[in-house]
Amino acid sequence: MQALGRQILVEFYDCDPNVLNDVNLIEKYMVEACDVANATIVKTVVHKFSPYGVSGVVVIAESHVAIHTWPEYNYAAVDIFTCGETISPWTIYKYLESKLKCKNSSMMELKRGLFDDAYQKIYHKPHEEEVCESK
């Protein structure tokens, strides 16, 4: 069974509420996590809610990293979705766990885009022959 990607759904508990409520730190740490994993950043959008909480998405060529924080509960929900074999979602997970000063977490990994064709290679991006033929 081949998969187009891996997705980690993360629950970060007992985090530093000051970090969770700081829009600049959340953006910085998400970008750094993607850099550490050698992901290719396409676009970043982060929003601060009133009176507290931050949501953000880093779109990467390999898919995305999203976060939603609840500083009042010392909690963050994170979604890390990567395609291909070039980066590990677990590198991003470990980096964010450290920067959010998380004391407890739970996570689940899902395989996305499962195909039962063992005789055909799955491409995560258009491969060269297809790109050349379409020109």
Per residue in 73-102, pLDDT tens?
999 999 999 988 888 999 999 999 999 999
Looking at 34, 63, 64, 102, which residue is catalytic? 63
pLDDT at 117 over 80: no
Q: Establish whether 64 is a catalytic residue.
A: no
pLDDT of residue 134: 38
Q: Establish whether 68 is a catalytic residue.
A: yes
* This prediction's pTM: 0.84
**Dist CA 40 CA 59 (whole Å):** 9
Percent of the chain residues past pLDDT 70, beyond the cut: 85
Q: Establish whether 83 is a catalytic residue.
A: yes
Looking at 15, 34, 64, 83, which residue is catalytic? 83
pLDDT at 131 over 90: no
Could you give the C-alpha distances from 85 to 2, 88, 100, 122, in angstroms and in order?
12, 7, 26, 11
pLDDT of residue 122: 62
Q: Which fold has domain 2-133?
A: S-adenosylmethionine decarboxylase (3.60.90)
